[in-house]
Chain A
Amino acid sequence: MIDGLLLGFGLIFSVNNILAMFAGAVIGYFIGAMPGLTPSIGIALMVPFTFGLIPVVSMVMLVSLYMAAEYGGGITAIMLNAPGTPAAAATAFDGYPMAKNGQAGKALTLSILASGFGAFVSTILLILTAVPLAVFAIAFGPSEYFALAVFGLSLVSSLGGKSLLRGFIAMLIGLLAVTIGMDPINGSFRYVFHMNMMEGIPFLPALIGLFALSEVFHMLEDVKEKQIEPEPFRGLGVEPSFFRKRWFTFVRSSVLGYIIGVIPGAGTTIASLVSYNEAKRASKEPDTFGTGNPEGIVGSEVANNSAVSGALAPLLALGVPGSASAAILIGALTIQGIQPGPLLFSKNPEIPYSIFAALLFSTPFMVIIGLFGLRVWMKVATIPKSLLATCVAAICVIGAYASTNNIYPVWVMIGSGIFGYILRKVDIPMAPIVLALVLGFMAEVNFRRAYIQSGGDLSVFFSHPITMILLIVAVLTSAIPIVRGIRKNRMAVAAK
């Protein structure tokens, strides 16, 4: 392995590769910050430009883009409540309230440093554990995926805001929305009243509507109010003691994000939501999450960048994509005449090891570009709301349109925006809807697959150890906040 790493690091320090890393980081930063353009769309858009490049340079550029795009999604999530990528939705929970409180600079700095930390630590984890973890993850069958989805959905009890009842209602709205479209097992249509609905409710436009457009309407209420001036910003804007006190959140989120990223199909969105929830659960001030707690940004941003390295583990070790973006990377490798899989490390060692090196060395590029762009983004907070609302609305429209080059997602975005605005007014939380939109499909498909494979035997969910562990953790995760709530109520009654 040492020889391979030396080879990778040797290759990376050429002018072409450094330029490729820089270009990848800049393009990824831009694509991530555009609501509607996901990292996978960004990679797909760039693949044609890599045809003429040698394989190492091409992969270095695409991998740097992938990592930077996950960071870029957090910028608009913080400044506009418009997550540039689905994984940045959890960043918006605390990032946007911080920006509204005049702490945009601190939030943006934390997001870039947390992303850089996640990228760096997860790359080390990738180098050390890619092969064994990928083999573990590939053992996941339908029952394990179902249990993973249930575990994810169980987070609603802590992400659901002030009322568990309203949190669960929000989750069910999301789950019901996921059932619209073609049935994933037998192909029949469900709630399809127009041909555009055959593929269901497009996730990203729905997310843009729920978060960004509903925020536009919210902004319009306050156009006459005075803008909050951003707090004076010196140096990095974050005290070193913040990192000392929260080091464990950084480490835990890196490990969590990486492990979830390794599981094919789990992805960066689940990683950031799970990690955000863990940061909230472990915090001494869980009630401040959602109102501008910087630890929430750390939990989300560290994990979504860590999941990028995680998603590359099954790709490099087994040739199995861990995410949509990784699937496109496999396509890019195949175009170059390279077959990803178990033989990649022996046949083309320059590819995996240069990817390792690119991930490590593109991190400083990503952080530097992020820090340079920070003061420009902070200016967004000073734009009058009447202008900003229109700009965000226009970006929402084009972002939703660009996701599939079709007007249908734009209507979904507008519908979700109006619906989200109404829900916000009656204090029904958005986070459980996002959770359900991400995990609903995974839960249904894998439950039904496991049930069919077992010949209708429900014991399949209790006989596999990983499934059992995940289901027990899910039950505990849901039950603990409920028990705590009941205890709190009893104490309040007793105090009265």
Chain B
Amino acid sequence: MKIALGRILVGIVLAGWGIVFFVLAMGFGKPLNPFDLGASAFPMLISVGLFLLSAGLVFVELRRLNLPERIKVKRLGPIMLFAVLMILYVFALPFAGYYLASLVFLPAMMLSAGELRWKWLIIITAMVILFNYIAFDRLLGVPLPKIGVAFVD
């Protein structure tokens, strides 16, 4: 994809955000103090700014569409797989707990990243889990998610 086209798409999304944030800010209610600008003033001001500048970006990049510069994305498939596995990992944390979720998802993430040597999958998974256990759970007293913590909440 041409970088100008990428910027146009991002500009359109950001301009859309500007509109949505502005409309939502209109419902924030009136200020309690007669001299207060209220909860909506700053968000409205910023959303207008974001809309205008994003529209400006779209306009500027439309004129650059004939330039050859392209967005460089290599290995999009593995990156997306890695991101999905990471999201599943975080989703699993409150249910399966840190240790079980890490045992399953860290090797899977490494595999998706292209690491096929089983020795390293085991060593790195063990090292990361052990390090976080010692550093957070033991030394710093920051408890890592336990199995079923989501059900307790």
Contact = CB atoms under 8 A, between A and B. Distances in A.
Contact of A397 (B24, B57, B86): B86
Interface string B9-28: 01000100100010011001
Contacts of B71: 425-426
B6 A425 contact: yes
A371 interface: no
A30 B136 CA distance: 11
B53 A220 contact: no
Interface in B68-83: 71-75, 78-79, 82-83
B24 A389 contact: no
A405 B98 CA distance: 12
B53 A384 contact: no
A92 B149 CA distance: 35
A191 B44 CA distance: 12
B54 A405 contact: no
Contacts of B135: 30, 34
A405 B136 CA distance: 11
Interface in A166-216: 166, 168-169, 172-173, 175-176, 179, 183, 185-186, 188, 190-191, 216
A426 B35 contact: no
Contact of A387 (B42, B120, B136): B120
A406 B115 CA distance: 30
Contacts of A390: 106, 109-110, 113, 115, 124, 128
Most chain B C-beta atoms within 10 Å of own C-beta, residue among A31, A426, A447: A426
Interface string A137-167: 0000000000000000000000000000110
A295 interface: no
Contacts of A418: 83
Contact of B54 (A169, A175, A190, A223): A169
Contacts of A428: 10
Interface stretch (A95-103, A352-360, A448-456, A464-472): A448-456
B46 A175 contact: yes
Taking residues whose C-beta sits less than 8 angstroms from the other chain, chain A's interface range is: 35 or more
Nearest to A166: B57
Most chain B C-beta atoms within 10 Å of own C-beta, residue among A176, A224, A402: A176
30 contacts: A30-B135, A45-B142, A165-B57, A169-B50, A169-B54, A172-B46, A176-B17, A179-B42, A183-B39, A185-B36, A186-B31, A186-B36, A186-B38, A217-B79, A220-B75, A221-B79, A386-B114, A389-B82, A390-B109, A390-B113, A395-B128, A398-B132, A410-B90, A414-B83, A425-B6, A426-B3, A426-B71, A427-B3, A448-B37, A451-B37
A456 to B, nearest CB: 4
B114 A172 contact: no
A179 B93 CA distance: 29
A393 B14 contact: no
A397 B105 CA distance: 12
Given A165-B57, A423-B10, A448-B36, 11 more contacts: A45-B141, A169-B57, A186-B39, A190-B40, A221-B73, A223-B113, A390-B106, A398-B144, A407-B90, A426-B7, A447-B37
Contacts of B60: 165
Contacts of B142: 45, 402, 405
B86 to A, nearest CB: 6
Nearest to A30: B135
Interface string B83-110: 1001101100110001000100010011
Contacts of B25: 190
Contact of B143 (A34, A405, A448, A454): A405
A447 B60 CA distance: 33
Most chain B C-beta atoms within 10 Å of own C-beta, residue among A188, A405, A455: A188
A377 interface: no
A422 interface: yes
Contacts of A183: 28, 39
Task: List the 7 closest A-B pairs by CB distance, nearest first.
Answer: A183-B39, A386-B113, A386-B115, A221-B74, A456-B35, A172-B50, A179-B43
B103 to A, nearest CB: 12
A222 interface: yes
A301 interface: no
B152 interface: no
B39 A191 contact: no
B7 A191 contact: no
Contacts of A422: 10
A391 interface: yes
Contacts of A166: 7, 57
A173 B145 contact: no
B109 A393 contact: yes
Given A188-B29, A387-B115, A405-B142, A217 B82 contact: yes
A401 interface: yes
B78 A220 contact: yes
B67 interface: no
A176 B57 contact: no
A435 to B, nearest CB: 14
A278 interface: no
A238 interface: no
A183 B36 CA distance: 12
Most chain B C-beta atoms within 10 Å of own C-beta, residue among A31, A176, A188, A390: A390
B66 interface: no
B136 to A, nearest CB: 6
A37 interface: yes
Contacts of A345: none
A444 interface: yes
A407 to B, nearest CB: 6
Nearest to B132: A398
A437 to B, nearest CB: 13
Interface in A399-440: 401-402, 405, 407, 410-411, 414, 418, 422-423, 425-428
